[in-house]
Structure 1
Amino acid sequence: MDIRHLKYFVAVVEEQSFTKASERLFIAQPPLSRQIQNLEDELGLQLLQRGSRPVKTTDAGQFFYQHAKKVLSNIEQMVSMTKRVGKTDQTLKIGFVGSLLLGLLPQIIYEFRKLLPNVSIDLVEMGTLEQMEALKKGEIDVSFGRLKFSDPSIRRILLRNEPLVLAINKYHPLAQHNDGVHLADIVDEVILCYPNTGNQNFANYINNLFAEHGLTPSNIKYLSNIQLALGIVASGEGVCIVPYNSRSIHMANLQYLPILDIGAVSPIFLSFQEGNDNEYIHLLLRTIELIYQKIEIDTKITLTQTFN
């Protein structure tokens, strides 16, 4: 059994057709069928249901498919990581979500640059899910994101839980609640969420937060970015839930209130490929830890603190 057998079998299962799989693999169908038969003979098991249209796996075949996918993914990551290690240039590529620029990320990168004056640091803005694909392909080395996800090939470290706040117009009736508001207080308001693209994003996270508290907002509007959302709130229409550090965005008539519900936070994760905990990542984590200690943010950052 070799990598070729795994690639062939995965292609047949995913295409549910020998014909389509052969086109995807750029080989003729008879040799493909023979290779799958050889694989079954070697295992002494039937992996595909004979005569099924579309092609379906047996229970053993489905088990083999899941593990074959993992093996191929690990090989792909090994190749990409080896290529990066073998490069002569000293460049560290860091992915990040834009909202983190409103917080401590610029300070973290600044201090990190001072520790590595001979290393070029490239910052690439991208969504959390885009970061995951870029990490697996070796296009970036490490990333800062907000969303929770599950991928065995990616290691995540929770840096902190940033509180969420409510942005309102200062003449809004809720503005008198200086101590804070609950999600139930705004469930019937016009709630502005961002962004308006993709399924796994900050807007989706806010929707889930309401659902976790048994609430269903009656009027949600989706906008492209945080600046647009806050601008509309400042103009007197709607409210918007944003991370705490977004308070650095100042606009006339804009006011921020704490959200008092348990779990009203936005987690910030540092992510990298499993097995890629090199000296740069250790140094980056140490930089973050020192900055958090300096401004008295409670956190416990260790390389063993992962979330699978």
Structure 2
Amino acid sequence: MVSLRQLRYFLEVVDAGGFSAAAERLFVAQSALSRQISELEKALQAVLLERSSKGVTLTPAGRTFVTEARRVLTELEGSIALTRSVARGEQGSVRVAHSSSVPFAGGLPVALRAHLQANSGVTVEVSTLSSEQQQDEVEAGRIDLGLVRLPVLRPAPSLVCETIARERLLLLVASDHALAGVASVSVAALAAEPFVSLPHRERGGLSYRVAQLCQQHGFFPRAAAATSRKATLVNLVAAGFGVAIVPESLAALAGPDVRRVALDDANAESEVALLRRRDAGGLVVALADALAGALKAP
């Protein structure tokens, strides 16, 4: 089997014009250098160099091999440089997913643009997945970073889950709803209201957090005739199906047919976290830091 050392030694002999000069350049014994070249020729089953008192001359096979050897080493050096650049967070591709309750809006795209402008060799692919799906995909290496709405019901010990933001929760109602004109309301006053988003029995996230708040006041959210755990819940509120409790970032996307009402409850808050593998490289960590900086509250 041909080794990289043999390739480098062979090219040094060619460039130096002989074994003695090449051995001096490489700081190795001439006998060791000669042995490596002999083993290379044996592995290739071809004579590469004709030796004489005047030095060495490439055989036809040697002239072919010297071109290929230079190409292999050049490509290897390029791969090493690329790998080091990726490890430093300077070059490569990062796959990011976010929960629909963590809109990729506001400061996030601004921070992403600034990061990519400062790191021209980096590209990013953004998709939407539930918090639990993100956890599975990050573990499997199919995505690199996840933006999730806590709680995650079954946190994976192999992942880093860093809380990066805390948001106030607001009530969304249709513009013709009885609560549309009030400045604030308590969660306790919503016991009879139909909710357009209910928690999934196997998933955490926003709807689970809302259910926690409701249960603290002795009731479980009553289901509206149409429900959704996605951002489409805003459209269901606008259509008059029921109410929703959402974070400020999601409420900001609501149109003129929806009213935002403050919640009196001091603990009416929700947290956003970043998910990544513990062994994530510098490319991923650098982007994670940039996105976290966009959301972290002072």
Aligned to 1:104: 107
Preserved CA contact (<8 Å) 1:194 1:202: no
Aligned twin of 1:142: 145
Q: How far apart are residue 237 of structure 1 and its match?
A: 3.3
Please tell me whether the aligned partners of residues 195 and 224 of structure 1 are also in contact (alpha carbons under 8 angstroms): no
Residue by residue over 1:19-54, the C-alpha shift from the partner in whole angstroms, topping out at 9 and shown as x without a partner, is xxxxxxxxxxxxxxxxxxxxxxxxxxxxxxxxxxxx
Tell me the SS of whatever aligns to 1:177: coil
Number of aligned residues: 207
TM-score by length of 1: 0.59
CA, structure 1 residues 154+168, in 2 after alignment: closer, same or farther (shift >3 Å)? same
- 1:158 equivalent to 2:190? Answer no
In the alignment, which residue of structure 2 is the partner of 1:260? Answer: 264
The CA deviation at 1:153 is 0.7
- Determine which structure has the larger strand proportion and give its number: 2
Per the alignment, residue 227 of structure 2 pairs with 223
Give the match's secondary structure for 2:134: helix
C-alpha contact (below 8 Å) 1:191/1:238 kept by paired residues:
yes
Counterpart CA distance in 2 for 1:162 and 1:252 is: 22
* Counterpart contact for 1:96–1:125, Cα < 8 Å: yes
In 2, Cα distance between equivalents of 1:236 and 1:217 = 16
Whether contact under 8 Å (1:196, 1:223) holds in the other structure is: no
Equivalent residues of 1:102, 1:248 under 8 A apart: no
Q: Which runs of 5 or more structure 2 residues have no equivalent in the other structure?
A: 1-85
C-alpha separation in 2, matches of 1:155 and 1:90: 21
* Distance in 1 separating the partners of 2:105 and 2:270: 14
User: Following the alignment from structure 2 to structure 1, what is the Cα–Cα distance between the partners of residues 162 and 120?
Assistant: 25
Task: Classify 1:155/1:212 alpha carbon distance in 2 versus 1 (closer, same or farther; 3 Å).
Answer: farther
C-alpha displacement at 1:251, in angstroms?
Answer: 2.8
5 Å matches for 1:69-80? none
- Whichever of the two has the greater Rg, that structure is 2
How many angstroms apart in 2 are the aligned matches of 1:197 and 1:225?
12
Change in 2 beyond 3 A, CA 1:262/1:195: same
- 1:143-222 correspondence to structure 2 within 5 Å: 143-149=146-152, 150-178=155-183, 180-193=184-197, 199-220=203-224
Aligned counterparts of 2:271 and 2:106: Cα–Cα separation in 1: 13
Please report how far the alpha carbon of residue 101 of structure 1 lies from its aligned counterpart in structure 2 after TM superposition: 1.8
| 1:253–1:239 Cα change, 3 Å | same
| Residue ranges of structure 1 left out of the alignment (5+ in a row) | 1-83, 300-308
Can you list the C-alpha shifts for 1:131-188, whole angstroms capped at 9, x where unaligned?
A: 111111111122111132322111111111111111112332222321x211111111
Between the aligned residues of both structures, percent identity stands at 20
Deviation at 1:257, TM superposition (A): 0.9
Residue of structure 2 equivalent to 1:246: 250
Instruction: Report the equivalent of 1:298.
Output: 297
Match of 1:94 in 2: 96
- Read off the aligned partner of 1:279 and give its amino acid letter: G
Q: Do the aligned partners of 1:181 and 1:260 also contact (CA within 8 Å) in 2?
A: yes
Distance 1:288 1:227, change over 3 A: closer
Offset, 1:256: 0.5
Q: CA deviation at 1:290?
A: 4.8
Secondary structure at the counterpart of residue 101 of structure 1: coil
The verdict on how the C-alpha distance between 1:288 and 1:169 changes in structure 2, with shifts beyond 3 A counting, is same
Cα deviation for residue 259 of structure 1 reads 1.6
2:130 to 116, 127, 130: 127
Say if 2:139 and 2:277, in contact at 8 Å, map to a contact too.
Answer: yes
Q: 1:227 to 1:94 in 2, by over 3 A?
A: closer
Give me the whole-angstrom Cα distance separating, in 1, the residues matched to 2:120 and 2:207. 38
Counterparts of 1:4-153 in structure 2, within 5 Å, are: 90-99=92-101, 100-149=103-152, 150-153=155-158
Preserved CA contact (<8 Å) 1:194 1:224:
yes
CA contact (8 A) 2:96 2:124 kept: yes
CA contact (8 A) 2:174 2:240 kept: yes
1:145 counterpart SS class:
strand
Q: Aligned equivalents of 1:191 and 1:164: distance in 2?
A: 15
